[in-house]
A and B are shown apart, each in its own frame.
Chain A
């Protein structure tokens, strides 16, 4: 019984990239304007905050858990950032306003940490504990803002959106850096390896002397930090921090992870799968707009996409029934 890498395995590995290329070709044929620098730059603006959220939740899904708290965490960190940023002068280049940036990341980390503790210490299934923590987060954001918007008009901070290099806004490069960081964590750190071990066999990881609970809590903490970074980009994109900032990230991010080929069972997939997934989802969303499809159809198409992706990414011969 030896294992060899078959051509099927190779095809499987590259299938997200192939699907992506096919989609780009398809939409370009429908509307040649699709394949333009301006359109791709527009896509990158929409995609980057979602990409960071998706990177965060990728680690959780590799562990075989799920995190649904991203909307709450994004909203809370966005509001905390906005409030602190204005309180400290509102200008990034002057005074202490820059402190709001690390403070936001820290807020995300604390929130994710608590999220993980609730899940692990109280033994609540992750989907339930994180969903509940997400609502708590949205609640805090509403409480802090009383439903008002916080406007961030500092042009140094908004440079993330407005400053462009080679046609792409600065935030696209921040997204790229985040991808490399996430990949480094996945590939080169003890924590990253432990995520796969926990997802591949929790009992076994435990019997190898791994502190599984700690790995889980750290996973949620790390995810919280990525959500916070996503919140900063989302604020930079709109110039507004509000209790609504996190809306819609849950579905889009989890869709992207799954479409990229990371299975919900845990133990497989990774950062590059998520990158491909985010691009596929955004190309389809953008492509539908460019192709002139009505807005109300677009969500339905994304829903179908998730089902197709899960069907394709699950080895249904090995699991005959799912709950």
Chain B
């Protein structure tokens, strides 16, 4: 019912889509995979009317179409569930569901709220979400919001005559396993009414849910396959165009940790976030916190870095008890924090690479408040070379670099300042496979240098591959501790078993 024929899209200097052929049948679930920058997002945006294609044609039920904007696409029955959730947190659920389409409930501009609430409840029923449509969206969990997004898209059913095509952009990234299964169940239920395009980095999920899988690389579809019988390794190979060894975490390169304790937590509690957390981090150790979303890992990292205060328990950094922790003190005691949302807490967009690298230790590069810019640039250039940061120069705007390189700039910021306790929150999220390997290499190098690393990994395999110790969190407590040195690695199944 939906077909792309030799669709082209170029931006200044980049050919983002190079003659893409793409088909979605009635009621079909299509998996769309590829590394970052392979063209998935561009394809989605063209389909959704955010971009207009500049070659080839898009056919819906055999008719050539072109969407001037997302609203036109919506009217034609194409709905998008965004990765970065598009609900307004300050509005109620029902206002969000019918945002932009309120006129059906209004007379002379006055909205009949009861009518809207009833209609919203019907939409929420479709996704089996039992919440009051009048509740403010900010009160919902991420999983609930994702369901509301889907309910919002499903309002197209009532407005559009033909079949729907629903685009799901990384819908499971904020969901726990149970919630993911719930979403999949829902998608299967809804396929009588809609086709789905499912974009995800999690290949096992794609294989599970999709009927057919399109693999993109460098703006082209490089493979199309039925998901029955498809293997993760086979898809990965198509995505990168080369073999990735199963052992690409290079467990053999993992060095043993030392006995020196860097950080020690004893019975640390923060009401509502985590409870009774005790562990020791040693020099040269990678310690993973593993658990479903909201099980407390992120809150523990924020407390370690002084961004949030624990309510009770003790924290010792390098043997010294810490009271009245703050981010400034954490930095002074050698901690570095690499948050998940790089754009918000990772790098300053608009500042250059060298300014970002020296941001946390300007005191070291200044005398009586006057900066020694030359020394800053020398340090920055050294770290750019050491971490293989791809940027035109130390003066380049850090905001314009790719995700993987931004991540390396943040790492350079902490390491160049002599930080030896590194807290990493999903360092490889949204980073493509090639760049991931680079980041793993950097983590191993940090350990060899005597740093201690606390990591919240993006996947279980990543946690297992990199760590010396894995702490599985469940319901905001440590559920199990795995010793994870080479030769005695647990299986992902063992971890999942403790998590759920």
- Residues of A near any B CB (own CB < 8 A): 1-4, 187-194, 196-197, 200-201, 203-211, 267-268
Contact = CB atoms under 8 A, between A and B. Distances in A.
Q: Which of A190, A196, A201, A204 has the most CB of B within 10 A?
A: A204
Contacts of A194: 362
B366 A189 contact: yes
Majority DSSP secondary structure for residues of B touching A: mixed
A53 to B, nearest CB: 23
Contacts of B460: none
Contacts of B369: 189-191
B366 A197 contact: no
A209 B307 CA distance: 10
Contacts of A208: 327, 331, 359-360, 413
B327 A268 contact: no
A188 B376 CA distance: 11
A194 B360 CA distance: 10
A189 B339 CA distance: 27
B392 A2 contact: yes
Nearest to A198: B348
Given A2-B391, A188-B370, A190-B366, A209 B348 contact: no
Contacts of B366: 189-190
Instruction: Report which residue of A1, A189, A208 has the largest number of chain B beta carbons within 10 angstroms of its beta carbon.
Output: A208
A197 B350 CA distance: 9
Given A188-B370, A190-B371, A193-B355, A206 B397 contact: no
A210 B359 contact: yes
25 contacts: A2-B396, A2-B400, A188-B370, A188-B371, A190-B362, A190-B366, A190-B371, A193-B359, A193-B362, A194-B362, A196-B355, A197-B359, A201-B345, A201-B347, A201-B348, A203-B345, A204-B346, A205-B348, A207-B305, A207-B307, A207-B327, A208-B331, A209-B328, A267-B351, A268-B350
B375 to A, nearest CB: 12
Nearest to A268: B350
Given A188-B370, A188-B373, A267-B350, A204 B331 contact: no
Contacts of A203: 344-345
B8 to A, nearest CB: 20
A200 B348 contact: yes
Contacts of A211: 328
Given A196-B351, A209-B360, A3 B397 contact: yes
B240 to A, nearest CB: 18
A311 to B, nearest CB: 20
B337 interface: yes
Q: Which of A188, A201, A267 has its CB near the most chain B CB atoms (within 10 A)?
A: A201
Contact of A201 (B344, B390, B396): B344
Interface of B: 37, 305, 307, 327-328, 330-332, 337, 339, 344-351, 355, 359-360, 362-363, 366, 369-371, 373, 390-392, 396-397, 400-402, 413
Contacts of B396: 2-3
Contact of B400 (A1, A190, A204, A205): A1
B362 A207 contact: no
A190 B368 CA distance: 9
A72 to B, nearest CB: 28
Given A3-B396, A196-B351, A205 B359 contact: yes
Contacts of B331: 208-209
Contacts of B346: 204
Nearest to B361: A209
Given A196-B350, A206-B307, 17 more contacts: A1-B37, A1-B400, A2-B391, A2-B392, A3-B397, A190-B370, A197-B351, A200-B351, A204-B344, A204-B345, A205-B359, A207-B307, A207-B345, A208-B331, A209-B331, A267-B348, A268-B350
Nearest to A193: B362
Contacts of A206: 307, 327
Contacts of A200: 348-351
A215 B111 CA distance: 47
A205 B349 CA distance: 12
A167 to B, nearest CB: 34
B411 to A, nearest CB: 13
Contact of B332 (A4, A192, A209, A267): A209
B348 A197 contact: yes
B402 A1 contact: yes
Nearest to B339: A207
A192 B366 CA distance: 12
Contact of A3 (B355, B360, B363, B392): B392
A209 B392 contact: no
Contacts of A190: 362-363, 366, 369-371
Which 10 A-B pairs have CB atoms at the shortest separation, nearest pair first? Answer: A209-B331, A200-B348, A3-B400, A208-B360, A207-B345, A190-B362, A201-B348, A190-B366, A200-B350, A208-B359
A200 B400 CA distance: 14
Nearest to B413: A208
Contacts of B339: 207
B327 A189 contact: no
A267 B362 CA distance: 18
Contacts of A191: 369
A204 B359 CA distance: 10
Contacts of B307: 206-207
Contacts of A210: 328, 359-360
A100 to B, nearest CB: 27
B298 to A, nearest CB: 13
A206 B337 CA distance: 11
A203 B112 CA distance: 41
A204 B363 CA distance: 17
A190 B344 CA distance: 22
A207 B348 CA distance: 11
A208 B356 CA distance: 10
Contacts of B363: 190
Contacts of A187: 373
A226 B305 CA distance: 37
Contacts of A207: 305, 307, 327, 337, 339, 345
B392 A1 contact: no
A208 B344 CA distance: 12
Among B337, B344, B350: residue with most chain A CB under 10 A: B350
A205 B369 CA distance: 17
Contacts of A205: 348, 359
